[in-house]
Amino acid sequence: MDPVEQMRENWRAKAREVGKEFVAPRASEIDAKGVFSWEIVDEFARCGFLRLLIPKQYGGEEGDITSFCLIVEELARYCASSALLVVVQAVGTMPVALGGSEELKERVLTRLAKEKGLICFCLTEPEFGSDAASIRTKAILEGDSYRINGRKCFITNGGVSDFYTVFTTTQPDRRIEGITGFVIEKGTPGLSVGKIEEKMGIRGSNTTEVILDDVRVPVTQRIGDEGVGWWLMMRTLNRSRPAIGAMAVGVAQGAIDYLTRYGQQKGWFTKKEIPSPYLLEMADMMVEIEASRAIVYKSAQMMDEKAKGIPVQMFSAMAKYFASDIAMKVTTNAIQMLQWEGLTRKHPLERMMRDAKVIQIFEGTNQIQRVVVAHNLLKR
């Protein structure tokens, strides 16, 4: 096996083992209680999942996007909330790795790689989610620091992070060209955590408001130049959307794994009709899961090969929206197959269905991904 393939296989095997042995036994309780698990953070930090995309020179693993997707898929088979930890850590660090100064990288990436620290990605605001170009959180340069005011909402790990990657506007009239990113450290005066969201799905993930009230941030904590924030954010999301697609594939695969075990126990597949109607329905599901998987790993491969002349953004968007729509369909149908039993907490399928619903919404709604694909169609 070539060394890159070997590296990917090692990550997949590690994630499969950790998913099965460590995450699976905790998944149901995390969901029922809606608690954030520091035990899982510790385990993921120990395995290297939380420093996966950080370059080696800062103490990271320098993994690729395919490995990222493999890890997320394997973990999401058991618990989407836990898989999201890996995604958010990557999404928070990527703008710094892509565009931060050497000094900022040394300070943030090295600390995250060597310690257990968490980082979050703060873009969404109460009035601006899909329309990210209109964000209002404002950063004003005063001497050698910026004064930042604004409010972010629905921020994953907002209440548990050590670092906050925050997108602001430094020139609101310039829209996307006025967007500038910063890294702000926990404990900085004026930075506080607001409401903690009670969600229907991905309940083991901490989702909060982040409030910025006259926060003073040195110029050295700006990510790249003023006005490059949009570009950094889009490059980050193009790399993370395949992983969100992989999370959806994992959830759907988890549902079909469960159905298979359940069906075998109930004797679904030993009826006289060959093959049984249950099995035929599961065959349809499996085809759709494999189609999702194919598109997810194609988009990841494009990122890893830095494909030129191909609209990688379109494939990332397709991966996210196709795979999450399929996860929604598969989990809903799986519940239907178990009938009333499927609605109960005795089985993980209702949790998987609630998690799939969230995947259709975050990291850019599926409607927005459809718009991205539509725009790219015209460019082809």
Ligand X SMILES: Cc1cc2nc3c(=O)[nH]c(=O)nc-3n(C[C@H](O)[C@H](O)[C@H](O)COP(=O)(O)OP(=O)(O)OC[C@H]3O[C@@H](n4cnc5c(N)ncnc54)[C@H](O)[C@@H]3O)c2cc1C
Which residue in 73, 125, 350, 363 is the catalytic one?
363
Distance (Å, whole) CA 332 – CA 341 = 13
Beta carbon of residue 122, minimum distance to ligand X (angstroms, whole number): 6
Residue 289's nearest CA partner among 90, 110, 73 is 73
Element (H, E) at 185: strand 179-185
Residue nearer to ligand X on the CB measure, 217 or 259: 217
Residue nearer to ligand X on the CB measure, 78 or 362: 362
Residue nearer to ligand X on the CB measure, 199 or 216: 199
Distance (Å, whole) CA 369 – CA 315 = 10
Distance (Å, whole) CA 43 – CA 50 = 10
Residues that bind ligand X (CB under 6 A): 88, 120-124, 129-130, 154-156, 199, 202, 207, 358, 361-365, 367-368, 371
Beta carbon of residue 233, minimum distance to ligand X (angstroms, whole number): 9
* Contact residues for 17 (Cβ-Cβ < 8 A; gap 6+): none
Residue nearer to ligand X on the CB measure, 120 or 282: 120
Relative orientation angle of helices 349-361 and 312-338, to the nearest 10 degrees = 150
* Nearest residue to ligand X, by Cβ distance, number only: 129
Distance (Å, whole) CA 143 – CA 333 = 59
- The answer to whether 288 is a known catalytic residue is no
Beta carbon of residue 143, minimum distance to ligand X (angstroms, whole number): 29
Residue nearer to ligand X on the CB measure, 161 or 253: 161
Q: Are 136 and 170 in contact (CB under 8 A)?
A: no
Beta carbon of residue 202, minimum distance to ligand X (angstroms, whole number): 5
Instruction: Tell me: cis bond preceding 242? Omega within 30 of 0 counts.
Output: no
Beta carbon of residue 127, minimum distance to ligand X (angstroms, whole number): 8
Q: How many residues does the chain have?
A: 380
Distance (Å, whole) CA 331 – CA 248 = 10
Distance (Å, whole) CA 157 – CA 37 = 11
Residue nearer to ligand X on the CB measure, 53 or 285: 53
Beta carbon of residue 140, minimum distance to ligand X (angstroms, whole number): 21
Q: Are 193 and 159 in contact (CB under 8 A)?
A: yes
Element (H, E) at 26: helix 24-33
* Contact residues for 150 (Cβ-Cβ < 8 A; gap 6+): 125, 135, 136, 137, 138, 168, 212
Q: Which amino acid is at 197?
A: E
Could you list the active site residues?
363
